[in-house]
Amino acid sequence: LIFCHLTASYGRDLALVFETNQYLTDLGFVKNTLEDSEMKLLLYRCLISPASCGALATVHSTNQWLTELEFSETKLEALALKLLCEGLKDPNCEVQKLKLSASFLPGSSETIGRYLASVLICNPNLTELDLSENPLGDTRTLKELFVFANSLGDTGVQHLCEGLWHANGIIKNLVLSECFLSPASCESLAQVLNSTRSLTRLLLINNKIEDLGLKLLCEGLKQPDCQLKDLVLWTCHLTGECCQDSCNALYTNEHLRVLELMP
């Protein structure tokens, strides 16, 4: 379809064609006015091969108008998802919503998790990820949670801590470095220290914790259920005033072996 004066309003009609015509294999748009708001690719109950995902991955690097990608009930092999994720990690990729509902094969949850985690790290534009109705396995396999260099803030940490309280003690290593945290976050974190016996390592590097924040953390450290072994607070705006609270926590908590404090 070259120089056909097509606009976004024709998108719905074309979508209906795809649902009813099983023989259409190539469709080209050249020099048509398709608005960016209509750039969504929806694939429902399709047989997508790794080669197709490789081709689709190249689209992410060249088409900056594609903002939503949906696979529904489309079984993706691990290799196909890997190729797709490589495209999503491209610096030019503008995809904001990725929906993969009921699209994974059983027994591949660990591999899938690694691929998607790499996308979340590399693609700052991706704000919505739908993994509903997929066999992701037992959530108790999640032992480490790294939230590094994100604008989580105090409100985000509060919500995160609410999830940790209901996780029945599975997280062992929690990293919240460079997440724009203030002393307000430490009250929620102190409650996690008191209620989550699995947590043994907490890193809060480069946050504005201050002496008040450490005081609140120490209250959690002194609770009998706290099992924390390592607490790292580098560049957290601490002063000498925090020393007494730190000493009291070390004296009370027999599990705490490493306490690293830097101004």
Predicted local confidence at residue 39, as pLDDT: 54
How many structural domains comprise the chain? Answer: 2
In a shared domain, residues 132 and 144:
no
Mean pLDDT of 191-203: 90
Which residue did the predictor score with more confidence, 212 or 128?
212
> Locate tokens 């009921």: which residue?
102
161 and 86 both lie in a single domain? no
Specify the higher pLDDT residue, 246 or 119. Answer: 246
Asked, for residue 248, whether it belongs to a domain, the answer is: yes
Domain identity same for 181 and 165: yes
Q: What percent of the chain has pLDDT over 90?
A: 29
pLDDT confidence of 43, banded at 50, 70, 90?
low
- In the DSSP assignment, the letter for residue 10 is G
Query: Could you report the per-residue pLDDT of 85-112, keeping only the tens digit for each?
Result: 888 888 888 888 888 877 766 556 667 7
| Domain shared by 257 and 151, yes or no | yes
Phi, psi angle pair for 203, to nearest 5°: -115, 125
Range of the domain at 249: 140-261
Task: Mean pLDDT check: name the lowest of 10-19, 47-56, 118-127, 159-168.
Answer: 10-19
Q: What share of the chain is helix, strand, coil (3-state, %, to 5)?
A: 40, 15, 45
Give the 3-state secondary structure of residue 32. coil
Please count the other Cβ atoms lying within 10 Å of the Cβ belonging to residue 148.
14
Same domain as 49, residue 145: no
102 domain residue, yes or no: yes
Question: Quick check: helix, strand or coil at residue 104?
Answer: strand
Report d(CA 160, CA 152) in Å as an integer: 9
Burial class (CB in 10 A: 0-12, 13-18, 19+), 163: exposed
Compute the residue count for the chain: 263
Out of 109, 137, 165, a domain closes at 137
78 by Cβ neighbours in 10 Å (0-12 / 13-18 / 19+) ranks as: middle
Q: Could you tell me if 181 and 209 lie in one domain?
A: yes
Domain boundary at 82, 112, 137, which?
137
Instruction: Verify that 166 and 257 share a domain, yes or no.
Output: yes
Last residue of a domain, one of 119, 137, 155: 137
130, containing H or E segment: strand 128-130
What's the pLDDT band for 165 if we cut at 50, 70, 90?
A: confident
Q: What is the DSSP letter of 139?
A: G
What's 116's domain CATH number? 3.80.10.10
Q: Are residue 206 and residue 229 in the same domain, yes or no?
A: yes
For residue 1, tell me if it sits in a domain.
Answer: no
Q: Which DSSP letter does residue 117 get?
A: H
Rounded to the nearest integer, the mean pLDDT of the chain is 79
Q: Give the per-residue pLDDT at 219.
A: 95
Contacts of 194 (CB under 8 A, 6+ apart): 220, 223, 225, 226
What was the pLDDT predicted at 166?
Answer: 65
Is residue 38 predicted with pLDDT exceeding 50? no
Q: What is the pLDDT of residue 119?
A: 82
Q: Is residue 6 part of a domain?
A: no
| 20 assigned to some structural domain | no
Give the model's confidence band at 44: pLDDT under 50 very low, under 70 low, under 90 confident, else very high.
low
* Residue-level pLDDT at 81: 83
Instruction: Answer yes or no: pTM beyond 0.85.
Output: no
Residue 8 within a domain: no
152 Cβ contact partners less than 8 Å away, ≥ 6 residues apart: 160, 176, 179, 180, 181
| Mean of pLDDT values over 177-202 | 92
Cβ–Cβ < 8 Å for 24, 50:
no
Same domain, 196 and 212: yes
